Amino acid sequence: MNKIQAMLDAIIVSVNIAVLLWLFVFDQNSDKVVLLLNDKISMASLITDVIIYAWINVWAFSTRTIEPPLHHRVIVAGTLVFVITDFIYYYIYFYSDYKPNSWVDGAYVIAFSLMAASAVLKGKVKKEKPDLIPVKAKKRVCCKLGVELFILFVPVVVLIFKRNEIEYFVLLVMALLVYYVLINFTQKSLFQEKLLELEKKNVLELEKKVKERTEEITKLLNTDFVTGLYNRRYFEARLSKSLKNLRQDELISLLYIELNKSKSIKYLYGKDTAEKLLKNVSEALYQIVSKNGGFIATYGDDTFAVKIKGYDAEAVAEKIAMEIIDRCNELFFVDNHGIRVTLNIGTSCYPRDTLDENNLIKNADAAMTQARNKGFNRVQGYSDKIGKITDNSHMIEVKLKKVVFDKEFVLYYQPQVYCKDGSLSGFETLIRWFEGGTNFIPPLDFIPLAEENGIIVPLGYWIIENAAKQYALWKEKTGHDYRIAVNVSSKQLVEVDFVDRLEAILKKYDIKPELFEVEITETIQIESSINIQETLKELKKLGVSIAIDDFGTGYSSLYYLKNIPADRIKIAKELIDNVESDFYSKAIIQMVISVAKMKGNKVIAEGVETKEQWECLQKLDCDEIQGYYFAKPMPAGDIEEKWIKKEK
């Protein structure tokens, strides 16, 4: 459309100039044309003037869409005055009546003054301002006449000076009318083109912004807020994609990593430090995983998932797991604290362990749970056996939620004896679950589940109440004064009213606190939870005996004893099993006994199954023992008959 517009402009300008020349310069006389052709200088000057005039016209039209600055307008005005003056001069000159110092010379002076003024104005224009300012689309309503009125100049001149040649005026007006109709159309089209272009630009800009925003939102949706790693949503989508693109014989290995003590760390060091630690840990994991070509994401609050794809995915997964465990042997430094992080890793492999995408993570999680049951910083690969254990766990959990304590739970008691002579010193209370009255479910199968889902709290009080009741019954019948122990989970110890409720039960059954013992399993929670520390102090104040269960396995260190107000230490069966054969087990037991004696604590050995073990422990100066060699856990009636009455 711009080209058509330019052509129309050129035609109308040419018509105007032609009429102007024909009427004013040549006086409608073709002989004068010939005359001018012979006067080369005048002709050259006139041609120059025509070109300048045409240029001014075209310039004026080109300002349809831009607003020219003042100095442009002034120089154009100066040039216009010059051209018109020059036309008039040549006209006068042509007809030989030019007189120097006439008004024509004055007009030349005005023309040059305007040009000079333009130069001065140009100097004042601020540099940063662009020379041409676009006219606002709104202001430029194409249907209205604008610069085109400029062309009216010639018809007006014709009307004023050549009134007799009215047909030329009519011709020019007709030409102008046609021109206006046509430019109205072209300007409309140009305007629309411009609008369209503007719209296109806006749409492109909008699209760009939408794209940027979408990318931002997608990133937020796919990223974990604390660790900055990809999140579960993204991990699962990526896993799905990898499984779809898997080549023949290619494997996918998954690692499911769970940090062990996040809650305690949060409690101990505060939320900020805990979050920084989590970030540090995730960075360390990210380094290890990406170095080995794997992909890691935050899967839950304190869990991570890793995907490794390739023909040797299993070997790489193992390597990554080992490197992670190694890293956890070093401390993480956050806010001037050196914090030890422990974790467990479960692995599963596609297609070996499952062909179902959903089960892949589930299997790795199940393997991780098994690893966690074994202790800290353990790695466990998935197997069918683990699958069965997990299925069984789910079944047990369902049953556990429905169980009526009095109907299916029974308390058994295992005698504890003095090491020197095998005489009775007390009993440990151990729960037994006969599901549906007959189906025996071992405590190790349901206690961890009860701890996880919180059932351990009401169940724990049920155990304490029933053990105390039984103790009081025996006392009433036999007058005995042996010690009775119950196992207490750390989940019970964090209950704020635990000590009050225990005290109330002891009072209710008239039991001396020193004859009642709580066995707590050494875990990181015990050491790191301020709540538990407080509870232990209160228990101590109450006079209740505190025993550390399973000492020598898992998290423990002798140093740990320093912070726990224990009365007795129960050496784990695992150490006792090897007391005769393994030099290290024996050395550890000896050391524990020495430290305990120095602290004034008693030591009891668990799981004694042979006479040799007993004798060995006698030599090591162990205080008490408990184990199948003397008695298995048994119902209350058997304890009364076979042990209490016999001893009394």
Positions in the binding site for ligand C2E (CB under 6 A):
414, 429-431, 442-444, 447, 463, 487, 489, 519, 549-550, 607-609, 626-628, 633
- Distance of alpha carbon 158 from alpha carbon 127, whole angstroms: 43
Residue closer to ligand C2E by CB (options 279, 573) is: 573
State the minimum distance, in angstroms, from the CB of residue 634 to Ca ion: 16
Q: Does residue number 487 form part of the binding site for Ca ion (CB under 5 A)? A: yes
Which of ligand C2E, Ca ion, none does residue 431 bind to, with CB < 5 to 8 Å depending on kind? ligand C2E
Residue closer to ligand C2E by CB (options 23, 447) is: 447
State the minimum distance, in angstroms, from the CB of residue 518 to Ca ion: 10
Which of ligand C2E, Ca ion, none does residue 324 bind to, with CB < 5 to 8 Å depending on kind? none
Positive or negative, the Cα torsion across 431, 435, 441, 445?
negative
Strand partners, 308: 253
- Distance of alpha carbon 143 from alpha carbon 146, whole angstroms: 9
State the minimum distance, in angstroms, from the CB of residue 344 to ligand C2E: 19
CA 47 to chain centre: 75
DSSP β-ladder status, 424-435 and 409-418: antiparallel
Residue closer to ligand C2E by CB (options 113, 581) is: 581
State the minimum distance, in angstroms, from the CB of residue 547 to Ca ion: 8
State the minimum distance, in angstroms, from the CB of residue 519 to Ca ion: 4
Which of ligand C2E, Ca ion, none does residue 609 bind to, with CB < 5 to 8 Å depending on kind? ligand C2E
Residue closer to ligand C2E by CB (options 80, 430) is: 430
Residues numbered 535 to 554 that lie near Ca ion (CB under 5 A) are 549
Helix 530-542 to helix 498-508 angle (10° resolution) is: 20
- Distance of alpha carbon 215 from alpha carbon 227, whole angstroms: 19
Range in contact with Ca ion (rule: CB under 5 A) among 117-125, 274-282, 485-493, 495-503: 485-493
Residue type, 338: G
State the minimum distance, in angstroms, from the CB of residue 605 to ligand C2E: 10
Range in contact with Ca ion (rule: CB under 5 A) among 329-337, 368-376, 391-399, 482-490: 482-490
Residue type, 422: G
State the minimum distance, in angstroms, from the CB of residue 405 to ligand C2E: 12
Strand partners, 518: 486, 546
The tokens for 400 are: 């556990």
SS3 at position 560:
helix
Range in contact with Ca ion (rule: CB under 5 A) among 170-178, 261-269, 434-442, 484-492: 484-492
State the minimum distance, in angstroms, from the CB of residue 546 to ligand C2E: 14
- Distance of alpha carbon 154 from alpha carbon 157, whole angstroms: 5
Residue closer to Ca ion by CB (options 265, 488) is: 488
Number of CB atoms found within 10 A of residue 636's CB:
21
SS3 at position 623:
coil
Residue closer to Ca ion by CB (options 307, 570) is: 570
- Distance of alpha carbon 229 from alpha carbon 307, whole angstroms: 14
- Distance of alpha carbon 158 from alpha carbon 333, whole angstroms: 96
State the minimum distance, in angstroms, from the CB of residue 446 to ligand C2E: 9
Residue closer to ligand C2E by CB (options 288, 463) is: 463
- Distance of alpha carbon 541 from alpha carbon 539, whole angstroms: 5
> b or e along 326-346 (b: 16 or more beta carbons within 10 Å of the residue's beta carbon)?
ebbeeebebeeeebebbbbbb
Which of Ca ion, ligand C2E, none does residue 628 bind to, with CB < 5 to 8 Å depending on kind? ligand C2E
Which of Ca ion, ligand C2E, none does residue 155 bind to, with CB < 5 to 8 Å depending on kind? none
User: Between vectors from CA 456 to CA 453 and to CA 462, what angle results, nearest 5°?
Assistant: 145
Phi-psi region of 323 (alpha: psi -120 to 50; beta: other; left: phi over 0): alpha
Q: Does residue number 353 form part of the binding site for Ca ion (CB under 5 A)? A: no
State the minimum distance, in angstroms, from the CB of residue 489 to ligand C2E: 5
Strands in 112-161 per DSSP E: 133-134
Q: Does residue number 380 form part of the binding site for Ca ion (CB under 5 A)? A: no
Residue with tokens 């008695």, as numbered in its chain? 631
Residue closer to Ca ion by CB (options 366, 447) is: 447
Establish whether the linkage from the previous residue to 69 is cis, with ω within 30° of 0: no
Residue closer to Ca ion by CB (options 549, 624) is: 549
What is the distance between the terminal CA atoms of the chain, rounded to a whole angstrom? Answer: 119
Number of CB atoms found within 10 A of residue 124's CB:
8
Range in contact with Ca ion (rule: CB under 5 A) among 58-66, 323-331, 389-397, 512-520: 512-520
Query: Which string of x and - marks every residue 175-214 that binds Ca ion (by CB under 5 A)?
Result: ----------------------------------------
Residue type, 488: V
Q: Whats the size of the chain, residue-wise?
A: 648
Q: Does residue number 519 form part of the binding site for Ca ion (CB under 5 A)? A: yes
- Distance of alpha carbon 258 from alpha carbon 305, whole angstroms: 9
State the minimum distance, in angstroms, from the CB of residue 223 to Ca ion: 45
Q: Is 35 exposed, middle or buried (0-12, 13-18, 19+ CB in 10 A)?
A: middle
Which of Ca ion, ligand C2E, none does residue 463 bind to, with CB < 5 to 8 Å depending on kind? ligand C2E
Which of ligand C2E, Ca ion, none does residue 447 bind to, with CB < 5 to 8 Å depending on kind? ligand C2E
Residue closer to ligand C2E by CB (options 443, 513) is: 443
Residue closer to ligand C2E by CB (options 411, 644) is: 411
Which of Ca ion, ligand C2E, none does residue 224 bind to, with CB < 5 to 8 Å depending on kind? none
State the minimum distance, in angstroms, from the CB of residue 522 to ligand C2E: 11
Residue type, 596: A
State the minimum distance, in angstroms, from the CB of residue 442 to ligand C2E: 5
Residue closer to ligand C2E by CB (options 82, 471) is: 471
Residue type, 224: D
- Distance of alpha carbon 122 from alpha carbon 116, whole angstroms: 10
Number of CB atoms found within 10 A of residue 516's CB:
25
- Distance of alpha carbon 68 from alpha carbon 81, whole angstroms: 18
State the minimum distance, in angstroms, from the CB of residue 608 to ligand C2E: 6
Q: Does residue number 414 form part of the binding site for Ca ion (CB under 5 A)? A: no
Q: Does residue number 416 form part of the binding site for Ca ion (CB under 5 A)? A: no
Residue closer to ligand C2E by CB (options 310, 443) is: 443
The tokens for 353 are: 């362990």
Which of ligand C2E, Ca ion, none does residue 318 bind to, with CB < 5 to 8 Å depending on kind? none
The site for Ca ion (CB under 5 A) is made up of: 487, 519, 549
